[in-house]
Amino acid sequence: MRRSAGIEDLSGLVRDVMGSGCRVIAVDRLRGGSKKGVYRVRVDGTPMAGVIVYSWGEEENFWSDRNGTDTGDPFAPASGLAPFLAAQRSLDSLGIRTPRVYLADDSRDRYPADVAVVEDISAGTLEALFESDPARATTALSDLAAMTDVMHRHLAPSYGRVDLLEQGSTASGVSCEQVVLGRALHDLEETSGRDRRIAAAAGKLREHLHALAAVLTPRAAFGLIHGELGPDHVLVDADGHPVLIDIEGLMHFDIEWEHVFLRLRFGKRYPTLSRPGLDPQRLDLYTLAMHLSLVAGPLRLLDGDFPDRAFMYEIAEHNLKEALAILTQQTGTSLPPGKGL
C-alpha cells in the first residue's frame, strides 16, 4: 500500500522555506500525478496561506516500466528535480510563467526524496476556468497562445529534452519523425497484444505509419514544446495569467507534435492556438502516433496500482477508436468489430 506524505513529513521542509513561526495545518495530495507526488500544504503563522510540494520519491511513481529505458529518447519518462529545474530555467529565460521555486533539494537530508517547494497558484486550472468563468478563461487562452508562440519560435539545432541538451547530450534517433515512427510501432505492437480490434488492424496500421513517415524530410531546427500542454497543465493566477505546470518533459522538437496534442486536448477551443505554416504531412503522422501512444501509455500505467483506473481506461478506449477511425478514413480499410478494452 502506497503511503502519501502527511503533516509530520512535510512540516520541517515547509518551515525551512516559510520560517520557524509557520505551522502546517493541512496536507492534501492533489489528484492526477503519476510520476511525482504533488501536495498542497496549508499553513498559518505566515502571510502566505500555503505552498505546493513536489516529491519525486519512488513511492510517488506509478509507472511500472522504468527499467531499461533509453534516457536519450525524447519521450522517455521525464521525472525528477533535474529536468524540472532545467525546464524552469529555460521557460523563465523566455518570460514564460511557471510557479516560483522557493526551495529545491536533492540532498535527501530534509526529506527522503528529491523535492521542490513552489508557489501555490490556488486560483485553479484553465480547464476548470472554462466552466466557471468563460470570459476570464478566454483571455487566459489568448495569453497562452502568445506564450506558445514564444516557445515554438525559440529554435535549437538539435532535438531532445532541455535537461539533456543542457548537459551536451545527444538525443536518440536520426530525426523527429523517425523517433515518432519508432515509438508508434512499439506502441502498436504492445497494444496489439491487449485488444483484438488493434490486433486485427495492426498490419494496415503499420503500413500506414511507414507510408506517412516516408514522405517527410528531416529538419535542422526545432522549437521548444511542453509536450503535454492540456488545459489541466495550465494554471491561471490571481491576475488572470496562465502558468505552466508539469514541465519536466520540456524539449526541443517538431512543433507539430505539440499542436497535435493541443488540438486533442483543447478541442473546439483549439483555433485560438492554431497557427499557419504547420506541415500537414507531419500532422498526419503525429496524430496517428499520438492516438496510439494514448492507448499504450494508459494501459501500461494500469499494469500498476494507479488509483484513477476508470479515467485511464476511458482515455485508452477513446484514442483506440480514434486511431482506427483515422485508418478507415485515410486508407478506406474496413475493420471488423472486436472486443473492447
Whole-number Å distance between alpha carbons of 220 and 175? 9
Whole-number Å distance between alpha carbons of 203 and 184? 13
Whole-number Å distance between alpha carbons of 31 and 307? 10
Per-residue model confidence (pLDDT) at position 67: 46
Residues of the chain with CATH 3.90.1200.10: 126-331
Cell numbers found for residue 87: 525546464
Per-residue model confidence (pLDDT) at position 309: 84
Whole-number Å distance between alpha carbons of 330 and 310? 30
Per-residue model confidence (pLDDT) at position 47: 85
Q: What is the pLDDT of residues 266-323, one digit of tens each?
A: 999 999 999 999 999 999 999 999 999 999 988 888 887 677 788 889 999 999 999 9
CATH class (in words) of the domain with range 7-119: alpha beta
Per-residue model confidence (pLDDT) at position 338: 54
CATH architecture for residues 126-331: Alpha-Beta Complex (3.90)
E strand map for the chain: 23-29, 37-44, 50-55, 101-105, 115-119, 160-161, 223-225, 234-236, 242-244, 251-253
Neighbours of 33 (CB within 10 A): 16
Per the CB < 8 A criterion, the answer to whether 224 and 195 are in contact is no
As a whole number of Å, the end-to-end CA separation of the chain is: 26
Residues of the chain with CATH 3.30.200.20: 7-119
Mind listing the pLDDT tens digit of every residue in the chain (341 residues)?
Answer: 567 889 999 999 999 999 988 999 999 998 766 679 999 999 998 888 999 999 998 777 766 554 456 778 898 877 889 999 999 999 999 999 999 999 999 999 888 999 999 999 988 899 999 999 999 999 999 999 999 999 999 999 999 999 999 999 888 899 999 999 999 999 999 999 989 999 999 999 999 999 999 999 999 999 999 999 999 999 999 999 999 999 999 999 999 999 999 999 999 999 999 999 999 999 999 999 999 999 998 888 888 767 778 888 999 999 999 999 999 988 777 665 555 55
Pick left, alpha or beta for residue 118 (phi over 0 → left; psi -120 to 50 → alpha; otherwise beta). Answer: beta
Query: Structure pTM?
Result: 0.92
Per-residue model confidence (pLDDT) at position 59: 77
Q: How far is CA 246 from the centre of its chain?
A: 6
